[in-house]
Amino acid sequence: MTEFAPGQLNAARRAQEIEALAGRDLVDVLVVGLGVTGAGVALDAASRGLDVLAVDAHDLAHGTSRWSSKLVHGGLRYLAKAQFGVAYESAVERGILLQTTAPHLTRPLPMLLPALPSVAPAALTIAAAGFRAGDGLRLSARTPRSLLPRPRGLSATEARAMATGVRSEGLRGGVLAWDGQLEDDARLVVALARTAATHGASILTRMRVTETGEAGEVALRDELTGEDHVVRARVIVNAAGVWASALQPEVALRPARGTHLVFEGERFGHPTTALTLPIPGESNRYLLVLPQPDGRVYVGLTDVDAPGPIPDVPEPSEEEISELLDVLGVLYDDPPQREDVRGAFAGLRPLLDSGEEGRTADLSRAHLVHRGRGPMVTIVGGKLTTYRKMAEDAVDAAVIEGALTAGPCVTRTLPLVGALPREQLEAVDAPQRLVGRYGSEAPLVVSGDPALAEPVSGGLPYTPDELRFAVTHEGALDAGDILDRRTRIGLVAEDRAAASSAAAAALDAEL
C-alpha cells in the first residue's frame, strides 16, 4: 500500500481506492456527484466520523459548479423577493467562507452600479436601499465591516475613475457595494473534496452510478476501464445537480441556463471593480461585469429555460451572446464587439420545479432535501454560496435515514485544505498569486525550477508547477481536468491549444 498525504488525490490513490472497493461491502454514506454540493456532503459526513465513498461520473466540478458567476452572495436578490430566510442564510454562509473555511479562495469584491440614463432615478434609489439592506444582512451575519465595507454613493467623477470606459454621457454617479468573490468555483470544489479526503472519505472521479437498489446497493461503472463494481451503502446521498432526477424521478427540476462571456482584461482596461447594471426592460435581472484573478473578465448572465435532455456540457446560444453584448452597448462608450469575445460558457441551474408557470429568473433558489423510498436522500437547488448548509441538512437527513451513529456537524469551523486566517496568508512564503489559489500549500506548489515557474500560455499566469500540482495533489487525471477545472486556461480555445503540450508534459512527468 502506498502512503499518500492526507489531502492528496491522484491517479495512484484512485487505483488503490478502487482496488479496496472489493473488500468494502458496506459504507455509511455513498455520495453521488462531486460538484460543490456532493463534495460538501462528503466533507460534512466524513468530518462527523462516517465512512464515506463519494463518486463522480466525470471529474470534480465537472457540472454546474464550474460555470457559476463565482460570487459568494450576500443574498441581496433574495431580499428583494422577500425570501428573508434564504437571504440570511446566504449572508451567514458568505461570512463563514470569507472568514473561516476558505479565506484563501475568497475575497471582497467592490461592485459598482453606475447611474446611467438607462437607470431611472427611482430604480437607483431602490437599488441603493437594497444595498443598504444587504449591509444590514452583513451586520446580522456578523461579517465585519473591515471585510465588506458599507455601500456608498459615488459622484460621476468617482464612478468614472472606478469604471474605466463606462459611458460618460449622462453618467450621474453610482452606488458602490461589496460582496464576496471566489478565486474560482472549481477550486472550491477541489479544496472541499481534498479536505473530505483528509477526513477519510474516498473520492473517486470517473466513477458513474448506473443503478441504485432499495437495500442501498449501488452499481458503479469505472468510466476509464469499463469495469463494474457493486457496493452497498446505509444511505445514498444524491447530489447529482441537474442530473438528480435520473436517480430520484420524484424530484422535479426545471433547469435554467445561464451564460457568461469571456474577455481579455485589456479590453476593459484591466478593471478591479465589478460592474452591475439592470437589464433594460427587466425587473430582477442584472448584467454583471466580473474581473477575474487571472486577468480575464467574465460578463454574464442570462437566465433562460432549458427543457429537454441535459447535456454534459451546456452550450451558450448565439442569442444569449447577442443579448449580453447589447447590454454592454448600454454600459460602455466603446463597447466590446462579437470579435472581442474570446470564449463563452453556460451552466444549468438545478432549480426546483414548483409547477408554477413563469420565468426561471423568478424561481426560488432555496434548496430541498428529499427523502424518498429506499435509503436515498436527494439534495438539490440552492447555490454555491450555501453549499455548506445544504450539506449539513443533507447529512442530518442521512443520519436519520440510515440510523447512523455520527457526531454533530463541524463544518462551520473547519478550514479547507490551504486555509489560513487572512492576515496569515500574507506571510506565506510564496508568490501572492499562488497564495490566492493554494493558500498555505503555495510553497508546496513551487518546485524551485525556474523553467516551471514561467506562464504556460500567452497572457495567462498559470505555470507548469501548477499543472504538475494538479496531477500530484488535486486529482487531475487528464489534460481536460488540468486545463478546464484545476485551471481555467481552457475557457479560451486558443489558450487551451497553446497550453496543451504543457498539460501533456505535466501528466508525463507525474503519472
Ligand X SMILES: Cc1cc2nc3c(=O)[nH]c(=O)nc-3n(C[C@H](O)[C@H](O)[C@H](O)COP(=O)(O)OP(=O)(O)OC[C@H]3O[C@@H](n4cnc5c(N)ncnc54)[C@H](O)[C@@H]3O)c2cc1C
Out of 10, 47, 64, 276, the residue judged to bind ligand X by CB under 6 A: 64
Out of 21, 36, 218, 434, the residue judged to bind ligand X by CB under 6 A: 36
Q: What is the DSSP string of 125-139?
A: HHHHHHHHHHHHHHH
- Which 100-159 residues touch ligand X, going by CB under 6 A? none
Given the complex with ligand X, which of 134 and 347 has the nearer CB atom? 347
Per the CB < 8 A criterion, the answer to whether 60 and 189 are in contact is yes
**Chain position whose Cβ is nearest to ligand X:** 35
Task: Tell me 101's DSSP state.
Answer: I
Three-class SS of residue 496?
Answer: helix
**SS3 of 240-253:** CHHHHHHCCCCCCE
Distance CA 487, CA 473 (A): 14
* Per-residue binder mask for ligand X (CB under 6 A), 403-442, x = binder: ----------------------------------------
Residue 174 binds to ligand X (criterion: CB under 6 A): no
Smallest separation, CB 384 to ligand X (Å)? 3
Given the complex with ligand X, which of 211 and 266 has the nearer CB atom? 211
Given the complex with ligand X, which of 56 and 89 has the nearer CB atom? 56
Long-range contacts of 400-406 (CB under 8 A, 24+ apart): 401/235, 401/371, 401/375, 401/376, 401/377, 402/28, 402/29, 402/234, 402/235, 402/375, 403/234, 404/28, 404/29, 404/50, 404/234, 404/235, 406/28, 406/45, 406/48, 406/49, 406/50
The CA–CA distances, whole Å, from 289 to 89, 110, 286 equal 25, 11, 10
* Per-residue binder mask for ligand X (CB under 6 A), 273-312, x = binder: ----------------------------x-----------
Close Cβ partners of 432 (under 8 Å, ≥ 6 residues apart)? 426
* Per-residue binder mask for ligand X (CB under 6 A), 328-367, x = binder: -------------------xxxx-----------------
Given the complex with ligand X, which of 104 and 167 has the nearer CB atom? 104
Given the complex with ligand X, which of 43 and 452 has the nearer CB atom? 43
* Per-residue binder mask for ligand X (CB under 6 A), 224-243, x = binder: ---------------xxxxx
Smallest separation, CB 229 to ligand X (Å)? 13
Rg of the chain (C-alpha set): 22
Q: How many residues bind ligand X (CB under 6 A)?
A: 38
Given the complex with ligand X, which of 131 and 243 has the nearer CB atom? 243
Residue 32 binds to ligand X (criterion: CB under 6 A): yes
Given the complex with ligand X, which of 102 and 434 has the nearer CB atom? 102
Place of cell 493558500: 439
> Quick count: other Cβ atoms within 10 Å of Cβ 373?
8
Among the residue ranges 60-68, 138-146, 170-178, 462-470, the one whose residues contact ligand X (CB under 6 A)? 60-68
Task: Tell me 270's DSSP state.
Answer: S
Distance CA 23, CA 452 (A): 41
Provide the binding-site residues for ligand X, judged by CB under 6 A: 32-38, 55-58, 62-65, 67-71, 73, 208-209, 239-243, 258, 301, 347-350, 382-385
